[in-house]
Structure 1
Amino acid sequence: MADTQQVDEGTDAKQAAKAERRAARLAKEIDAFAKAHGGAEGQVAYIGERGARIVLVGEDGGWGDLVAPTYDIAEKAVQKAGITVHEAFDGEFAGKVRTGPYEWTRMAGIQLGGKRTA
């Protein structure tokens, strides 16, 4: 019985260390985005079995996203990065996003049955 418990504890420790490394890598990516865009804010959204999506909006209106394997890892990553995190992607936060011609052409093409650009 004791051997099984030690194996479980070792596995748990390895999984925790792996999750910590993943959160640290995501935090570095968030930091890089923030530096490139004059700062950043974010929102974490659960996307089911795939994990969680971290939506980032820069001070310049640029935007991007990252996917974390779990919601907990996503939350740790934004905490490590030290960005402001919003509960929802709406209102003033969503209004900061600036889209360009590519996004408008792509959205119009998909919605109107036109040529897909991707």
Structure 2
Amino acid sequence: MTSAETATTAAPDARVERRAKRIAKHLTSFAAQHGGSADGVVEYVGRTATRIVVVGADGTWGDQVAPTYAIGRRAAELAGLTLHDDFEGELGLKVKTGPYEWKRMAGIQI
């Protein structure tokens, strides 16, 4: 394999790592502001996006969007999130909702 082929092969992985590190900084900051640790779920949004739902130790929740599942998963790992397969059970019970969420949910009624 030539050095040009090696550089081309390594470029996508390097790009994924850079993007994941950038997103991980936000996730780490969120965790630090909300109890020092966080749980998360990485879920597909569509063909071109992945959502990382993060729940802090204090029950505050938020999310980040990543361009691919691989980047989202790697960002969550780099941030040290405890990953869950889905947003049900214990993780769902940890979430604390505030007036903003209740107001938005009430506005969606049919």
Do both proteins adopt the same fold according to a TM-score greater than 0.5, normalized to the shorter chain? yes
Deviation at 1:9, TM superposition (A): 4.3
Secondary structure at the aligned position of 2:47 is classed as: helix
Tell me which protein shows more helix as a share of its residues.
1
- 2:22 paired residue number: 25
The alignment-based identity, stated in percent, is 52
SS in 2 for 1:60: coil
Equivalence for 1:34:
31
1:50-91 Cα deviation digits (max 9, x unpaired):
221100001111100011111111111111111210001001
Coordinate RMSD, CA, aligned: 1.7
Q: Distance in 1 between matches of 2:48 and 2:105?
A: 24
Equivalent residue, structure 2, for 1:115: none
User: What are the ranges of 5 or more consecutive residues in structure 1 without an aligned counterpart?
Assistant: 113-118
* Structure 1 residues 1-118: aligned runs within 5 Å: 9-38=6-35, 39-112=37-110
TM-score, normalised to structure 2's length?
0.88
Report the secondary structure of 1:16's partner residue: helix
Distance 1:48 1:59 in 2: 28
Match of 1:47, SS state, is: strand
Structure 1 CA distance for aligned equivalents of residues 56 and 21 of structure 2 = 20
State the TM-score, normalizing by the size of structure 1.
0.83
